[in-house]
Amino acid sequence: MATLQNIRKRGPLIAVVIGIALLAFIVGDMAKSGDAMFGGNKNNIAEINGNALTYQEYEQQINTTTQYVKDIQNTNTIDDQTNNQIRTSVWETFVRDYVLEKAIKSLGIGVHESEFEDMLFGAHISPTIMRTFTDQTTGQLNLEQLNGFLDQRKENPKFQRIWFYMEEEMIETRIFTKYVNMVQKGMYVNSLETKMDFNERGHIVDFSYVAKNYNTVIDSTISVTDDELKKYYQTHTTEFEQEESRSIVYITFDIVASKKDSTDVYDEITLVKDEFTKTKTPEQFVQMKSDTPLDTTYRNPEDFKSFGLDTTLFNSEIGFVYGPYFDNGNYKLVRLLNKAERADSASVRHILIAYDSQKPETKSKAKTVADSLKLELDNGADFTMLVLQHSDDPGSKEKGGLYENFRQGAMVKPFNDFSFNKEVGEIGIVETQFGFHIIEIMSRTELKPQIKVAFLQLVIEPSSETFDNVYATAAKFSGMNNTKDLFDAALKTQNLTPKEAPNLTQATTSIPGLQSAREVVRWAFSAELDEVSPAFDLVDRHVIALLVDSKDNGVATFEQSKEQLEVEVRKKKKAEQFIGEFNGVGSENLDDYATKFGVRVMQARSVSFNAFQVTGMGYEPSVLAMVVMVEKDGFNGPIEGKNGVYVIKTTSVTPAIVPEGKKWEEDQKRMTQALRGRANYQAFNALKKLADIKDNRAKFF
């Protein structure tokens, strides 16, 4: 069991699952593509480069991965977020497998049995093994623990499943590394490129410029025709490539507690008030009856002012019960448990000796260390020095272990109780979930009246009747307004404001503001344009959507691109207009342009060809390309840019200076390493972009 706990600790769930998704290329038998997998079968989740991924295969791998996750977490259930991460990771696994299948096979990449043995016990230990079985004290591979796990897996089905995934990850990581290394070895920066880069980075220009921005002219004053839009579209089709997506607008019918629900809860808490008043064990009564946990921290009068109870409670006898009253979605009863003179806040210093809760032997060791440090302090050792040498609390270590003026309840209970119940100056050992604390109480504020109370709270929640009523209202709206025209008309009539959810993809699992929205996304990918959805039940609300846009992979149609086309064509026409106005000035004096257009002459300093943008100008690659080519005091323009039209004049040019005896090898090596560092993701992304991927997941999930 200790071995399994160690794996859980050092092999974090999501890291492993996502790691498999990022590195996996081979899914074993699941990757085999027989004749039955071709032909656009309606049971296919996807088709990738002609390989069909069936629903059964996809679901089987999800189930296998889910079981692995449960084994690692030692649980029988996992939450929706983890479920979504598993589905995404399995999808990425299949995509990478099929996209890289041809490249991997053609290169003959694999892992031999002897190589796998080397990854376990040899000179090239797998990162998976090192991550899981490294001794945290020595930093070395713990062979005893590894061998113990391998022996136990023969008898333990859970260990067998975990080992299967670890084995897969080890092989897939090694294949990935080999593939990337082969791609990287083909990347090289020659000496000419190295010198060009040095010159581009070292050639520095200061310049002045005058700009006339496109936003100075209102769009509505620039008319565009369909012929102009179509002409631009035909000559710039690559600018309108898109991924498959859907856009919806939707309205919600929120499920909130009704007035009757509130009254019912009030009646319920009123019924228990008499029992709460009479019980001799109020704390246990709260634990049984209350919807919120018991909190018996001593409190100041200020803590009750927002309830209007500060005077009432502090002037009442112990056992007094007030309520019910409404506060933040709850009905509450409050019973006075005790009164005492207590400090508002305390200051302490401490030494934390942490231990691994998964390893009982580390707890015993930590307790021994804590006891020895306590003995040293009793014999006059310097507290601050021991903090610096031993404390595992980074939050206080640099301050000598000091926590100043914290209020009651600010710390975990054992730490809090020691700090407020023991005498000032006392040193003691307290155990919390963080480890063993050697605490010295430095000071406390003066004693003031405080009270301890018990709150019995019942949350006001929607009843089943309320759920039914809200659903009936939503279903009626959907049924009566099942076309776009009726939907739009109903919004106006009922003064409803729809929300937008643009560019949903096949992989979208959540929509801002909506919980568990996958069913809405799935509907959007099966619906027709302008179709109105049924009422979806999404935990705390019902949702009705209207599909307003549907985009397929590839180049967007002219109609889909029309809004963007209008922006670009108007910008183009503004540029032509501005260039004519600039040419009309006919001067190389920037002040003349500034006066003409009512703007200022701007300055840009220390600009090189490698600069991404210019301060005050933004991203303007055309200007950057032009300005580095101009001599000192040289004038150029007008230049059509992305944000406006410019004229420029250089004020200073500092050419790149090559130091005498400069060695280019280091620069060349640095550039080559940077280029190769991008291989691990750019190579795959390039293949993925060229791949034919038909993603039908939204039809199934």
Summarised one tens digit per residue, pLDDT across range 645-677 is 999 999 999 888 888 888 888 889 988 888 888
pLDDT value at residue 28: 36
Instruction: Output the DSSP codes for 333-402.
Output: EEEEEEEEEEESEEEEEEEEE---TT-HHHHHHHHHHHHHHHHHHHTT--HHHHHHHH---HHHHTTTTE
Q: Which domains does the chain have, with CATH numbers?
A: 2-185 (no CATH), 204-243+559-654 (no CATH), 245-256+464-551 (3.10.50), 259-342 (no CATH), 345-444 (3.10.50.40)
Q: Which residues have C-beta within 8 Å of that of residue 404, sequence separation ≥ 6?
A: 347
More confident residue, 572 or 173: 572
Look at residue 5 and tell me whether its pLDDT is greater than 60: no
Q: Is the pLDDT of residue 122 over 90?
A: no
Q: Residue 42: what pLDDT? A: 66
Q: Which residue has the tokens 């012929």?
A: 227
Does residue 617 carry a pLDDT above 70?
yes
In angstroms, how far is CA 319 from the centroid of its own chain?
Answer: 49
Can you give the pLDDT at residue 255?
93
Pairing of strands 541-551, 321-327: unpaired
196-201: long-range pairs with CB below 8 Å, 24+: 197/610, 197/667, 197/671, 198/656, 198/658, 198/667, 199/655, 199/656, 200/608, 200/609, 200/610, 200/628, 200/656, 201/608, 201/609, 201/610, 201/656
Rg (CA), the chain: 35
Can you give the pLDDT at residue 609?
A: 86
Q: Is the pLDDT of residue 340 over 60?
A: yes
The per-residue pLDDT for 24 is 38
Residues 504 and 525: their CA atoms lie apart, in Å, by: 9
State the Cα–Cα distance between residues 564 and 240, nearest whole angstrom: 9
Could you give the CA distance from residue 689 to residue 682 in angstroms, rounded to a whole number? 10
Q: Is residue 49 within 8 Å of 102, Cβ to Cβ?
A: yes
Predicted confidence (pLDDT) at residue 558 exceeds the cutoff of 50: yes
Q: pLDDT at residue 228 above 70?
A: yes
Does 218 have pLDDT greater than 80? Answer: yes
- Mean pLDDT of all residues in 240-260: 92
Alpha helices (H) in 11-112, listed in sequence order: 13-23, 55-73, 80-107
pLDDT tens for residues 190-202? 999 999 888 888 8
User: What is the pLDDT, as a whole number, of residue 59?
Assistant: 85
3-state SS, residue 100: helix
**Whole-model pTM over 0.75:** no
Reference 537, options 253, 256, 246, 258; nearest CA is 253
Provide the mean pLDDT of the chain: 85
Task: Give the tens place of pLDDT for each residue, 378-429.
Answer: 998 999 999 999 999 988 998 999 999 998 878 988 999 899 989 999 999 9
Which range in 79-88, 289-298, 496-505 is most confidently predicted, on average pLDDT?
Answer: 496-505
- Helix, strand, or coil (residue 433): coil
Structure tokens at 116: 């796998």
> What pLDDT band is residue 630 in, cutting at 50, 70 and 90?
confident
Per-residue pLDDT for 36 more than 60? no
Q: HSE of 528 in the Cβ direction (CA atoms, 13 Å)?
A: 4
Cα torsion angle, 510, 514, 515, 518, sign: negative
Provide the b/e sequence for 468-503 (b: ≥16 CB within 10 Å).
eebeeebeebbeebeeeeebeebbeeeeeebeebee
Which amino acid belongs to residue 255? I
Q: Which of 68-82, 112-126, 617-631 has the lowest mean pLDDT?
A: 68-82
Closest by alpha carbon to 670, among 129, 36, 198, 278? 198
Torsion, CA 11, CA 14, CA 18, CA 24, rounded to 10: 40
Instruction: Let me know: does 601 contact 590? Beta carbons within 8 Å.
Output: yes
CA distance linking residue 340 with residue 466, whole number of Å: 45
Q: What pLDDT is stored for residue 25 in this prediction?
A: 35
Beta-carbon-side half-sphere exposure of residue 275 (alpha carbons within 13 Å): 12
Task: Write out the two tokens for 377.
Answer: 């302090």
For residue 37, pLDDT beyond 60: no
Which residue from 119, 182, 105 is spatially nearest to 680, judged by alpha carbons?
182
* Mean pLDDT score, 232-256: 91
Per-residue confidence (pLDDT) for residue 447, from 0 to 100 = 87
* Residues 370, 215: Cα–Cα separation, whole Å: 68
pLDDT band per the 50, 70, 90 thresholds, residue 183: confident
Percentage of residues in the chain with pLDDT exceeding 90? 44
Confidence of residue 277 (pLDDT cuts 50, 70, 90): very high
pLDDT digits (tens, 9 = 90+) for 461-513: 999 999 999 999 999 999 999 999 999 999 999 999 999 999 998 888 888 88
pLDDT tens profile 680-696? 778 778 888 778 888 87
Mean pLDDT along residues 289-317: 85
Res 659: pLDDT: 87
Q: Would you say residue 176 has pLDDT above 60?
A: yes
Q: How far is CA 301 from the centre of its chain?
A: 41
Tens of pLDDT, residue by residue over 440-462, are 999 999 888 888 999 999 999 99
- And the tokens for 485? 């025209």
What was the pLDDT predicted at 459? 94
Question: How far are the Cα atoms of 244, 626, 633, 658, 664 from residue 654, in angstroms, in the given order?
Answer: 49, 16, 13, 12, 21
Dihedral (Cα; 484, 489, 494, 496), 10-degree rounding:
50
- Decide: helix, strand or coil at residue 331: strand
- How many other C-beta atoms lie within 10 A of the C-beta of residue 428? 12
Cα 402-404-407 angle, rounded to 5 deg: 135
Q: What number is the average pLDDT over the span 19-29?
A: 38
Q: Which residue has the higher pLDDT, 298 or 529?
A: 529
